[in-house]
Amino acid sequence: MDEERRQGENYQSRLMEEHEVPEWVYPVKEQPNTNLNPDGSYITGKRQRKYVSYADPLSDKQWMIAMENGEDLSKFIPKRRENLPAETNDSTSENLQMLKVMMLL
């Protein structure tokens, strides 16, 4: 009975068919982001820490003498040293290699 009524009324379904769905509804397939350094290693996203030296270049006696004489203390502060790479042991480098291999899979 319903079938006959639908045929007579030229009934259309309320649901959209797949070819009627607009393109903006479908997710865009993005290219995988390959974050590689020029040397071929992966960028981890962590920033490099700044080197901070809390070593006091002057003893208390030297500081007191410099203050009494009115000397500029900036000449006693050592210049910033170049950042040295952190010392790594073999297990750390092996772990990094394993991580790189796992990321490639």
User: Which pLDDT tens digit goes with each residue over 23-47?
Assistant: 888 887 776 656 666 676 666 667 7
What pLDDT, on the 0 to 100 scale, is given for residue 56? Answer: 76
CA dist., res. 57 & res. 83, Å (int): 19
Instruction: Look up residue 38 and give its two tokens.
Output: 């020029």
User: Which parts of the chain register pLDDT below 50?
Assistant: none
What pLDDT, on the 0 to 100 scale, is given for residue 5? Answer: 78
What pLDDT, on the 0 to 100 scale, is given for residue 92? Answer: 62
Q: Where are the domains of the chain?
A: 1-43
